[in-house]
Structure 1
């Protein structure tokens, strides 16, 4: 696994979110169910002010790293100032950060979810320990673009915020 390292400027993301946890691997069950509901209910249709309606994101935000709880947001980049009062939608500004970008291997649709989870596992168990980097504490991003429309060879990118590992 060889990531591309790139800098991303600050950006805003608007969408729907759930609170989940890494405790007992709850997020591995709950996030795919959330995506299924999002797709079945065509929730993307109600998200306003999308900069690019062909690039969806899954973003891990509001992390309680010690407790394992975090919010997972499915949505789109926006540049609008949104009034989301009385709405199920949330909007978050993601800070500028340096990311290691990993691309999942191309797989048929029925293996896509498992491949995403396997890639996350590979990043944290195998890549990070020898990389010279540590997690920078910024939100993690899953980027779903036109490659996810290919039913026979689906792919997506995982953006992990990084910084050089501190010695000592």
Structure 2
């Protein structure tokens, strides 16, 4: 898999989150549904106005393995405050950054699957226990050439 390693300081993200189930692949259905809801309500455009670099993010955090759930947070990196939206801090970390090319959500779902089934087992890295995130630049997410990224916090085994 094509990837790069990036060191990054902590940063703030504002947005909206929801609890997602992971059992039976429910996350692959619930996350696109959540994106559709946030987009249809106009909140996606509101969140995007905070984005310092124009990118939206999908953050995976607060994993609860016992209940097979995690929080998925649609947001934007910003230094601003918001009365309407929640804010989270992504900690400083070393990140493995993977590029996804193709229409959403299928293309990025394939990248996630390969990270855990192929990349982690074949490298000297393990998960750093920090939130993971998807970085979505402006563009048509339905195009065959749409490019976005998956950022996974890592540490040496």
TM-score, with length taken from structure 2: 0.89
The whole-number CA distance in structure 1 between the counterparts of 2:48 and 2:4 is 31
Q: Aligned Cα RMSD in Å?
A: 2.0
- 3-state SS of 1:44 partner: helix
Which residue matches 1:90? 86
Q: Say yes or no: does 1:160 pair with 2:152.
A: yes
Give 1:121's match in structure 2, choosing from 113, 124, 127: 113
**Once superposed, which parts of structure 1, at least 4 consecutive aligned residues long, lie more than 6 Å away?**
none
Work out which of the two has the higher radius of gyration on C-alpha atoms and give 1 or 2: 1
Which protein is richer in strand relative to its size?
Answer: 2
Counterpart mapping for 1:1-168 below 5 A: 1-47=1-47, 50-52=50-52, 54-82=54-82, 84=83, 87=84, 89-105=85-101, 107=102, 109=103, 112-146=104-138, 148=140, 151-165=143-157
* Cα 1:149–1:122 shift into 2, 3 Å: closer
Where does structure 2 lack aligned partners over 5 or more consecutive residues? none
* Cα 1:133–1:48 shift into 2, 3 Å: closer
The whole-number CA distance in structure 2 between the counterparts of 1:154 and 1:36 is 18
- 3-state SS of 1:32 partner: helix
The whole-number CA distance in structure 1 between the counterparts of 2:81 and 2:37 is 27
TM-score, with length taken from structure 1: 0.84
Where does structure 1 lack aligned partners over 5 or more consecutive residues? none
1:37 Cα shift? Answer: 1.5
